[in-house]
């Protein structure tokens, strides 16, 4: 279960680094819940990420790619894995823009693993 959850997060991040919004959605379960600071966001369906998200991210931060420092299971069930994820957002030269340590919940629904919840 843990390896499947980590593989799902890796696949999502591959699509993130490719700036592929539809590909990212393919690795999520809906409704998808995001706790950003104290603000709760619920995406009921795919296509909720603003289409210009990556253009704005690059323009405001110089982002080029995201890289993991750690993906550690903290709770494992048959159909749900809670992962501590530690990652950086980086410029093209590899320098770090920001570092994030979050909890993501990956679930097995409808015969596939997908990210159900993210806490930032």
pLDDT by residue (tens digit) across 67-94?
999 999 999 999 999 999 999 999 999 9
- The predicted-structure confidence for 24-82, as pLDDT tens digits, reads as follows 999 999 999 999 989 999 999 999 999 999 999 999 999 999 999 999 999 999 999 99
Measuring CA to CA, which residue among 56, 55, 69, 63 is closest to residue 95? Answer: 63
pLDDT, average across residues 17-24 = 98
Residue 51 has φ and ψ, to the nearest 5°, of -60, -25
pLDDT, average across residues 96-104 = 97
- The pLDDT of residue 120 is 87
Domain boundaries, position 103:
2-119
Whichever domain contains 93, its CATH number is: 3.10.450.50
Domain count, the chain: 1
CA-to-CA distance for 7 and 75, rounded, in angstroms? 16
pLDDT, average across residues 95-100 = 97
- The pLDDT of residue 82 is 98
As given in the structure block, the two tokens for residue 36 are 């950003």
pTM: predicted TM-score of the whole model, two decimal places = 0.94
């Amino acid at each position: 279960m843990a390896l499947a959850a980590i593989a799902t997060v890796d696949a999502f991040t591959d699509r993130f680094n490719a700036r592929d919004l539809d590909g990212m959605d393919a690795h999520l379960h809906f409704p998808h819940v995001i706790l950003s600071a104290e603000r709760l966001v619920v995406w009921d369906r795919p296509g909720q990420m603003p289409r210009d998200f990556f253009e704005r991210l690059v323009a405001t931060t110089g982002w080029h790619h995201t890289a993991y420092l750690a993906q550690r299971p903290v709770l494992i069930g048959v159909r749900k894995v809670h992962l501590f994820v530690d990652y950086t957002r980086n410029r093209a030269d590899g320098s770090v823009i920001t570092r994030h340590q979050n909890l993501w919940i990956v679930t097995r629904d409808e015969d596939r693993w997908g990210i159900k919840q993210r806490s930032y």
